[in-house]
Every structure is written in C-alpha cells, then in structure tokens.
Amino acid sequence: MNNSRDNGRSNGVDIGRYGRIAIFIDGSNLYHTIRDLGIHIDYRRLLTYFSRDGWLLRAFYYTALLEDGTPDWLIRLTDWLSYNGFAVITKRAKVFRRKQYDENGQVYWREEVKGNVDIELAIDMLTLCGHYDTAILFSGDGDFVRLVEAVQRRGVRVVVVSSERTTDSTVADELRRQADEFVDLADIAEAIRMQDRSAFNSTEI
C-alpha cells in the first residue's frame, strides 16, 4: 500500500482522510434498513457525502433479482444506478418468508429476497485491495466480519454503514466492533435523503 493511506495524499494531491474510497452496497440489507427508518435515499447525494473526505474510486451495488416478479422499483433503481456511476452486480434469487414478531408480540411474515451476492461482494472487496485505502461497506450482516478482518490485514480502513435504530437492529454487534468506523444511517439521513422522488415514481425507493 502506498503512503496515500497514511497522509491522505496521492501524487501530491490531498484526497482527504479516507484516501481512495471504494463503496460496497449490500442492496437487500440496505433496503430493509432504510425501509424501517423511513428513509428514501438519493444515491447521487450518497456518493457526494462519502466523497467529501476522499477520492471515490468506484461504487458497487449488489442485489438479487427474481427470474419472474422482480419489483418494478428495483428494476428502475438498478437501471438508474448503472447509468449514474455505479457498478451494479445482480444474481438470480429466491423469495423466502420469515417469521417476525412486532412490538406487541404479534406474529407477522416478512418476505425476503435471498441471493448469493455476498460472495460477489467479498470477491470484489478482496481483489481490489491495493487500489483503495478505505472500504465503505453498506451492510449490517455479521457474515462479513471475516471479510472485514481480511481487508484490514492488508492495510485497508473499513467504514460500516448501517443502523442500530431500526425495529430490530440491522447491524450485527460483531461487525460494528470489527469496523474501524461505524456510521448510523439515521445520523446522516438528512444529508442523503431523496428530495424529489418523482424521478422514480415509487414509494419503495
């Protein structure tokens, strides 16, 4: 790793405390988090916000798509992202129903889209090591703890973005502990919130 990680400079140019940044978004995990928080993200503003303290190398968005029945809003979102600076990685998925309990102890069922995109995210984060100084991981999935450890051993700083303020905390405690820095989405909601949703014409995004 060159000195840009230590002094925030690359070829003599100040690129902030994060240095070169790569953003990795676990789409499904982020969706459930922002839905619970009632936040509609403007992904352009998101990139701007996290680029303030560094130079953005690349932003990746990972999500599972159903062969049949993928929601229109998700198709529109992934199309928009692919035309606006994101590398969108998709994979076929299945729908599972998971038993949940509300605050009154009443049972309800939540449908979740499950795909194997975690593997793609992990491969990209590892293989790109050496090209970025800070990984910004949008996920609260505890399965990523070993991945975070692995890239940290290669000199990378890892920022985890999720929330503890959802109905059921969507960030695993072990992931938060492993991260070099934790950012709660609830704290930055106003900075990344979508101000005009007409571009998507959807209540889901």
Per-residue pLDDT of the chain (205 residues; tens, 9 = 90+): 344 444 455 555 556 899 999 999 999 899 999 999 999 999 999 999 999 999 999 999 999 887 776 788 888 999 999 999 999 999 887 777 788 888 888 888 877 766 679 999 999 999 999 999 999 999 999 999 999 999 999 999 999 999 999 987 789 999 999 999 999 999 999 999 988 765 554 434 4
What tens digit of pLDDT does each residue of 41-52 get?
Answer: 999 999 999 999
pLDDT of residue 102: 83
**Residue-level pLDDT at 11:** 52
Task: Please tell me the predicted confidence (pLDDT) of residue 125.
Answer: 98
Cα–Cα distance, 52 to 174 (Å, whole number): 28
The pLDDT assigned to 203 comes to 39
Residue ranges of domains in the chain, CATH in brackets:
4-199 (3.40.50.1010)
CA–CA distances in Å: residue 63 to residues 6, 113, 117, 176? 33, 9, 6, 22
Q: What is residue 110's predicted lDDT score, i.e. its pLDDT?
A: 78
Percentage of residues in the chain with pLDDT exceeding 90? 64
Between CA 7 and CA 4 the distance in angstroms is: 5
Contact 63, 90 (CB under 8 A): yes
Predicted pLDDT of residue 84: 93
